[in-house]
């Protein structure tokens, strides 16, 4: 029954990054309080009949008519609301991924809008007539891969909380969850070796490093702080090792480790290299990212790691959340 | 909490009345108020308070109370609104305006419902609103005691007359009869006959009063007495004759009741007679009480002989000897009749009525005491009569063979002002009128402004009571029948249902019209929307922000056959929205353009359909 209902609703509300609510897509029903209120009206009417009290009739009719008026008002509160998914965020598994939703209202103001779904609910939102506001929804992530906001429920109980009007939005664009970074355990040796090498490069490379005074624009971690502590002069080391041989981060470097853990190791290494401002490339089965450096490269690597294994062409599609996957750790 | 619950149970003592139930609600509100944490608690509080507002109408129905009560309910609704929009800035003003607007929109529906909703008779017999006694006359009379009713200016009832208001001295409102005297107190020999409580219609209809008819709006008394003039016959169905020319309700009047009578003597087939047992009953006296009065009466009866002569002689004595009508009589604990007649000679109506009845019975003339009200003060413009508690009166009826019961009022002999113009005139010299009642406006009746304001307020309240509070089944049927012939309750139900359906439909249509309104107003926009729809249906994506040219180009890439039509459509759109001439072109020209756009749309649709079908026929293309 529920499945039939869901399918019907899904047909009515196709996935889209922009949706304007109208009477086709808004549903409205009395809340629990509304049902109790209806019961109260019946009791009041019976009291009025039995005690032949005109004023109780009057009060009952007034409240009943206001209930109907509230129905219209609650419906109108959502009607015409324009929802746009402005940005689908990215982040590591375990972090909250921000989705930015813009609520715009053309004619009527929309008061006390509640957004709910697979994210921590933001407070009640209000949009003035002709205004707009951005709401950041933080979706918790448990699995690597595309994070879809399967359904965002938009509801309101304004003005009296006796009725609830609601609708859904099914954003098409998905966010992305990178693997959780994990320091590789088995390769501690090689890794520390690598570090050691890097350090030795730094240590040994002082001779062939260009040491020049600090200029505006130099990153703070390139300053030789030890020297600063000793002499008080801020100098920068431009050592040759930086432009030296690139490091390949290879999927095949961790034999006997399962897929997700491998990806986590690689993710950790990517972050490490990026922070160390080293050149690095990524080798995944079927995907090779040439060594490079910088933010764009970093993102690209993380995205490939996040999407790895999932049907690559489906990345933008609607993936049900939570994703049934063997990727559980 | 437990202590409160215990106290409540102890004070209720297992009796269930609306009183006790509503005090429970009040208690519940008080306790709930202490523990409102979540919004659910506020809703519980809201529901209790709303119901309490309804229950309040059982006790208070005056217009002022109604206004306060409704204002309270609106405040509650306002509170709910704030509860549901806590983050809204300037919520006070905007919320109030929103609520007011909503109220304004619903008002016509409320009025319609109020007028047309069929007033059914009660579904089952309900408990009394209140078990407490109210201010008003009681069913015993002890002349020795001071009655404090004369100090109350509360309304007892109001009367509208068909025709002019009869003169003050004829307005003897009979309520009940006391026929048994135990030496101190007069009471009823038979307590009020038991009657199964039945629902009582609270109104007497809305027909215009004919001359001689009168309609009484009685304030709640918690008694079954329906005050009436003698002689009268009942016109409304909610009162029934109860013997002794009295009328009774089938159920104590615990809310205001309106009933209607006509001053017509019931036709008697033969001369009235008194049976032997009735005669004994109306001659009953306690043995050995008031010896001087007994002796006096016997002597006087021997002198005068006929009952009429005896009555005249006694009234003459009252008139000629220095008897005083006063609201401050000295206490007369024993043999009150003797003390009044021969020693004190000061008293008010109860004293004199008691003495008169005693003398009559001692002389062998059957007599009884009637309790009720006498007189009343006219309301604004002499349109109706207001009878107050201080108009309470007691007088005597004596049996005269061949004539029946005749009214004998000793007070009229002692203080004619009391009967001619009321209590205030009668005790004007004494200054005892409402002397303990500082707040009553009637006390300051000689100040013109206060009097006028009081009368205005009373009139407003009277109309309110008659037409709003008293708008019950009979009034509804009368009124609506006046509009459209005869109507039954069932037909009224259909009318109500039809009206409500129409109102709901109108509201729905209005909001639907409002919903479509913004694009229906612009025929261009509507045509473009249709065109976009056609293009979308052909499977071409249209993104928000695309210009007509971009859309046309994208569509022509897919359907090269329709390129010409698409480009044409886009050109008209561009010309209309971005062209320089469009703003200043004449209406005729605009209409022409619109027709051209329509034709374009038809051609476009055809072209795309043809292109789409040829695509289907040869899928490999």
pLDDT tens string A128-186 = 877 888 989 888 888 888 888 878 899 999 889 999 999 999 888 888 999 989 888 65
Determine, for residues B88 and A18 on separate chains, whether the beta-carbon distance falls below 8 Å.
no
**Of B49-63, B401-415, B544-558, which gets the smallest average pLDDT?**
B544-558
| B58–A64 CB contact, under 8 Å | no
Q: How many domains does chain B have?
A: 3
Q: What is the pLDDT of residues B61-106, one digit of tens each?
A: 889 999 999 999 999 998 888 888 876 655 567 778 888 999 999 9
pLDDT band, very low/low/confident/very high, at A204 (cuts 50, 70, 90): very low
**Quick check: A165 contacting B, CB < 8 Å?**
no
Alpha helices in B401-488 (DSSP H): 410-414, 416-420, 423-426, 448-464, 473-484
Domain identity same for B160 and B80 = no
Residues B172 and B285 occupy one common structural domain: yes
Inform me whether the pLDDT recorded for B463 exceeds 80.
yes
The verdict on B504 touching A (C-beta cutoff 8 Å) is yes
Measured between beta carbons, which residues in chain B are less than 8 angstroms from residue A106? Answer: 518
Burial class (CB in 10 A: 0-12, 13-18, 19+), B621: exposed
The residue among B68, B84, B100 that closes a domain is B84
On the question of pLDDT at B531 being above 50, the answer is yes
Tokens of B443: 């006390």
Q: Report strand pairing: A90-92 vs A175-178.
A: parallel
3-state secondary structure of B482: helix
Q: Contacts of residue A158 in chain B, CB cutoff 8 Å?
A: 81, 84-85
Contacts of B544 in chain A (CB under 8 A): 18
pLDDT in tens, A108-130: 788 888 898 888 778 888 888 77
Pair (B357, B448) in one structural domain: yes
Q: Do B86 and A124 touch (CB under 8 A)?
A: yes
- Give me the catalytic one of B349, B391, B458, B576: B349
pLDDT exceeds cutoff 70 at B14: no
B50 and B172 in one domain? no
Is residue B107 in a domain? no
Is B593 in the active site? no
In B, residues 155-214, which contact A (CB 8 Å cutoff)? Answer: 199, 201-202
Query: Could you report the per-residue pLDDT of A18-57, keeping only the tens digit for each?
Result: 888 888 889 999 999 999 999 999 999 999 998 889 999 9
Alpha-helix residue ranges (DSSP H) falling in chain A: 2-12, 32-50, 54-78, 188-204, 225-231, 259-276, 295-307
The pLDDT of A287-303, averaged and rounded, is 88
| Residue pLDDT, tens place only, B414-438 | 999 888 888 888 888 777 788 777 7
Q: How many CA atoms lie within 13 A of B477 on its CB side?
A: 15
Q: What is the pLDDT of residues B288-315, one digit of tens each?
A: 888 999 999 999 999 887 889 999 999 9
* pLDDT, averaged across chain B: 84
- Mean predicted confidence (pLDDT) in B22-47: 84
CB A114 within 8 A of CB A155: yes
Report the C-alpha gap between B332 and B319 in whole angstroms: 22
Task: Identify the domain boundary among B84, B102, B121.
Answer: B84
User: CA B418, B420, B425, B430: dihedral to nearest 10 degrees?
Assistant: -30
Confidence grade of residue A289 (pLDDT, cut at 50, 70, 90): confident
B422, B547: one domain: no
Is the per-residue pLDDT at A205 higher than 50? no
Q: Which domain holds residue B77?
A: 2-84
CB contact under 8 A, A65 and B110: yes
The rounded distance, in Å, linking the Cα atoms of A114 and A153 is 8
pLDDT in tens, B114-168: 998 988 888 887 777 776 667 788 888 888 665 678 888 889 999 999 888 999 9
ipTM of the complex: 0.79
Lowest pLDDT segment from A13-22, B217-226, B249-258, B482-491: B482-491
Long-range contacts of A320-324 (CB under 8 A, 24+ apart): A320/A148, A320/A150, A321/A118, A321/A147, A321/A148, A321/A149, A321/A150, A322/A142, A322/A143, A323/A143, A323/A145
Contact B122 A49 (CB under 8 A): yes
Q: Are residues B171 and B317 in the same domain?
A: yes
Mean pLDDT computed over B470-475? 85
- From the list A65, A80, A106, the residue facing B106 with the nearest CB is A65
Residue of B nearest to A60 (CA): B54
If pLDDT is split at 50, 70 and 90, which confidence band does A195 have?
Answer: very low
Q: Is residue B255 part of a domain?
A: yes
B393 among known catalytic residues:
yes
Is the pLDDT score of A92 beyond 60?
yes
CB-based contact A112 B84, cutoff 8 Å: yes
Q: Are residues B320 and B243 in the same domain?
A: yes
> Within this chain, do residues B196 and B77 fall inside the same structural domain, yes or no?
no
pLDDT classification of A324: cutoffs 50, 70, 90: very low
- Alpha-carbon span B596 to B588, nearest angstrom: 12
Q: Please say if the pLDDT value at position A319 is more than 50.
A: no
- Shortest CB distance from B80 goes to which of A43, A61, A161? A161
pLDDT for position B177: 92
From the candidates B254, B409, B458, B576, which is the catalytic residue? B409
What 3-state DSSP class applies to B581? coil
CB B157 within 8 A of CB B219: yes
Q: Which of B204, B245, B254, B393 is catalytic?
A: B393
A50 with B109: Cβ contact below 8 A: no
In this prediction, residue A48 carries a pLDDT of 92
B67 in a structural domain: yes
A160·B84 Cβ contact <8 A: yes
Query: Do the chains contact at B55 and A47, CB–CB below 8 Å?
Result: yes
Query: pLDDT digit string (tens) for B38-47?
Result: 888 889 999 9
Rounded to a whole number, what is the distance in angstroms from the first to the last CA of chain B?
A: 84
Residues of chain B found within 8 Å of residue A52, distances taken between Cβ atoms: 119, 122, 199, 201-202, 255, 472-473
Collect all residues with Cβ–Cβ distance below 8 Å to B276 and sequence separation of at least 6.
Answer: none
**Percent of chain A beyond pLDDT 90?**
21
Which helix (H) or strand (E) element contains residue B278? helix B276-283
Contact present, A176 and A307 (Cβ < 8 Å): yes
pLDDT of the residue at B193:
66
Q: Is residue B299 part of a domain?
A: yes
pLDDT reported for residue A147: 85
Beta bridge partners of A294: none
Which of A48, A59, A121 is the best substitution to test chain B (most B C-beta atoms within 10 A)?
A59
Q: Note whether B201 and B236 are within 8 A (CB).
A: yes
pLDDT of residue B518: 52
Nearest-10 Cα torsion for B488, B491, B495, B498: 170
Per DSSP, the residues of A211-247 read: EEE--TT--GGGB-HHHHHHH---EEEE-GGGGSPPE
Residues 52-91, chain A: which have Cβ within 8 Å of B? 52-66, 68-70, 72-73, 75-76, 79-80
Contact B154, B389 (CB under 8 A): yes
Contact A75 B511 (CB under 8 A): yes
Query: Is B349 a catalytic site residue?
Result: yes
Min distance B54 CA to chain A CA atoms (Å): 5
A110: three-class secondary structure by DSSP: strand
Q: Is the pLDDT of residue B389 over 80?
A: yes
Q: Are residues B196 and B334 in the same domain?
A: yes
Q: Where are the domains of chain A?
A: 2-28+77-177, 188-314
Helix/strand/coil percentages in chain B, nearest 5: 55, 10, 35
Query: How far does chain A reach from its first CA to its final CA, in angstroms?
Result: 34
A65: which chain B residues are within 8 Å (Cβ-Cβ)?
Answer: 106, 109-110, 113
Within 8 A of B66 by CB-CB distance, chain A residues are 55
> Looking at B453, B486, B509, which one is the last position of a domain?
B453
What's the token pair of residue A183? 């320091």
Q: Which pLDDT belongs to residue B357?
A: 95
Q: Name the residue among A251, A270, A267, A249 with its Cα closest to residue A259.
A: A251
Q: Return the higher-pLDDT residue of A304 and B512.
A: A304
> B257 at the A interface (CB within 8 A)?
no
Q: What percent of chain B has pLDDT over 70?
A: 91
Average pLDDT, chain A: 80
Domain range A2-28+77-177, its CATH number among 2.40.30, 3.30.70, 2.60.40, 3.40.50: 2.60.40
> Is position B500 within any domain?
no
A59 vs B18, B57, B74, B602, CA distance in Å?
18, 10, 11, 56
Q: Which one has a higher pLDDT value, B203 or B217?
A: B217
**Domain shared by B265 and B353, yes or no:** yes
CB contact under 8 A, A124 and B119: no
What are residue A100's phi and psi, to 5 degrees? -105, 120
Residue of chain A whose Cα is closest to the Cα of B102:
A69
Q: Are residues B441 and B538 in the same domain?
A: no
> Is the domain of B49 the same as that of B159?
no
């Amino acid at each position: 029954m529920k499945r039939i209902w869901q399918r019907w609703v899904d047909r009515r509300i196709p996935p889209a990054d922009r949706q304007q609510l109208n009477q086709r897509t808004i549903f409205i029903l009395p809340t629990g309080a509304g049902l109790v209120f209806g019961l109260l009206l019946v009791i009041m009417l019976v009291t009025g009949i039995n005690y032949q009290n005109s004023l109780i009739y009057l009060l009952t009719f007034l409240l009943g008519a206001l209930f109907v008026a509230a129905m219209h008002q609650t419906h109108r509160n959502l009607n015409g609301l324009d929802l746009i998914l402005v940005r689908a965020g990215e982040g590591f598994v375990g972090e909250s991924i921000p989705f930015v939703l813009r609520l715009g209202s053309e004619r009527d103001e929309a008061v006390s809008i509640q957004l709910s779904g697979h994210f921590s609910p933001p407070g009640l939102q209000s949009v003035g007539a002709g205004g707009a506001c951005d709401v950041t929804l933080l979706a918790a992530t448990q699995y690597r891969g595309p994070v879809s906001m399967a359904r965002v429920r938009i509801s309101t109980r304004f003005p009296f909380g006796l009725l609830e009007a609601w609708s859904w939005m099914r954003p098409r664009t998905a966010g992305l969850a990178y693997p959780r970074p994990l320091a590789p355990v088995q390769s501690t040796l090689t890794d520390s070796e690598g570090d050691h090498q890097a350090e030795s490069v730094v240590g040994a490379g002082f001779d062939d490093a260009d040491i020049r005074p600090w200029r505006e624009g130099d990153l703070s971690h390139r300053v030789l702080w030890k020297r600063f502590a000793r002499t008080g002069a801020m100098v920068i080391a431009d050592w040759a090792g930086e432009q030296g041989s690139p490091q390949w981060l290879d999927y095949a470097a961790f034999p006997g480790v399962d897929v997700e853990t491998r990806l986590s190791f690689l993710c950790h290494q990517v972050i490490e290299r990026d922070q160390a401002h080293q050149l690095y490339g990524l080798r995944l089965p079927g995907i090779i990212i040439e060594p490079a450096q910088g933010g764009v490269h970093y993102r690209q690597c993380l995205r490939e790691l996040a999407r790895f294994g999932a049907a690559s062409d489906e990345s933008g599609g609607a993936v049900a959340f939570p994703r049934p996957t063997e990727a559980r750790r | 909490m437990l202590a409160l619950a215990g106290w409540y149970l102890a004070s209720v003592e297992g009796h269930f009345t609306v009183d006790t139930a509503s005090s429970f609600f009040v208690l519940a509100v008080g306790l709930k108020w202490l523990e409102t944490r979540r919004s659910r608690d506020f809703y519980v509080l809201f529901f209790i308070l709303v119901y309490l507002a309804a229950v309040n109408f059982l006790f208070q129905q005056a217009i002022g109370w109604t206004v306060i009560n409704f204002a309270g309910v609106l405040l509650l609704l306002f509170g709910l609104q704030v509860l549901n929009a806590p983050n809204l800035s300037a919520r006070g003003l905007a919320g109030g305006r929103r609520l007011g607007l909503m109220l304004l929109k619903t008002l016509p529906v409320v009025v319609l419902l109020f007028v047309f909703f069929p007033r059914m008779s009660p579904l089952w017999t309900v408990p009394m609103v209140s078990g407490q006694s109210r201010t008003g006359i009681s069913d015993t009379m002890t002349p020795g005691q001071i009655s404090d009713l004369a100090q109350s200016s509360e309304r007892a009832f109001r009367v509208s007359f068909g025709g002019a208001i009869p003169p003050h001295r004829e307005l003897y409102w009979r309520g009940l009869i006391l026929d048994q005297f135990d030496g101190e107190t007069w009471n009823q020999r038979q307590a009020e006959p038991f009657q199964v409580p039945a629902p009582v219609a609270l109104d007497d209809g809305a027909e215009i009063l004919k001359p001689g008819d009168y309609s009484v709006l009685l304030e709640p008394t918690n008694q079954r007495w329906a005050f009436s003039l003698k002689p009268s016959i009942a016109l409304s169905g909610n009162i029934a004759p109860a013997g002794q020319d009295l009328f009774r309700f089938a159920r104590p009047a615990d809310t205001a009741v309106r009933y209607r009578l006509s001053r017509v003597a019931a036709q008697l087939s033969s001369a009235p007679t008194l049976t032997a047992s009735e005669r004994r009953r109306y001659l009953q006296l306690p043995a050995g009480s008031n010896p001087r009065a007994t002796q006096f009466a016997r002597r006087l009866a021997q002198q005068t002989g006929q009952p009429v002569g005896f009555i005249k002689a006694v009234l003459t004595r009252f008139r000629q000897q220095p008897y005083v009508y006063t609201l401050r009589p000295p206490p007369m604990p024993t043999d009150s009749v003797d003390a009044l007649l021969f020693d004190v000679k000061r008293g008010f109506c109860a004293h004199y009525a008691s003495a008169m009845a005693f003398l009559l019975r001692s002389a062998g003339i059957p007599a009884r005491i009637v309790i009720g009200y006498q007189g009343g003060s006219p309301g604004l413009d002499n349109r109706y009569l207001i009878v107050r508690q201080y108009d309470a009166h007691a007088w005597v009826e004596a049996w005269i063979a061949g004539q029946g019961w005749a009214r004998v009022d000793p007070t009229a002999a002692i203080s004619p002002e009391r009967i001619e113009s009321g209590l205030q005139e009668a005790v004007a010299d004494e200054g005892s009128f409402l002397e303990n009642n500082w707040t009553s406006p009637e006390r300051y009746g000689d100040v013109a402004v206060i009097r006028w304001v009081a009368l205005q307020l009373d009139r407003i309240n009277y109309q309110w009571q008659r037409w709003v509070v008293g708008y019950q089944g009979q009034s509804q049927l009368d009124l609506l029948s006046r509009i459209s012939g005869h109507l039954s309750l069932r037909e009224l139900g259909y009318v109500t249902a039809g009206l409500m359906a129409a109102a709901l439909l109108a509201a729905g249509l209005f909001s639907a019209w409002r919903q479509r309104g913004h694009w229906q107003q612009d025929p261009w926009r509507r045509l473009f929307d249709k065109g976009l729809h056609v293009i979308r249906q052909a499977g071409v994506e249209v993104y928000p922000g695309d210009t007509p040219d971009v859309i046309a180009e994208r569509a022509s890439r897919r359907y090269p056959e329709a390129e010409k039509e698409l480009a044409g459509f886009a050109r008209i759109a561009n010309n209309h929205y971005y062209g320089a001439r469009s703003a200043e072109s004449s209406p005729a020209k605009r209409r022409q353009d619109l027709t051209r756009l329509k034709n374009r749309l038809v051609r476009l649709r055809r072209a795309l359909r043809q292109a789409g079908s040829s695509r289907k026929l040869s899928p490999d293309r």
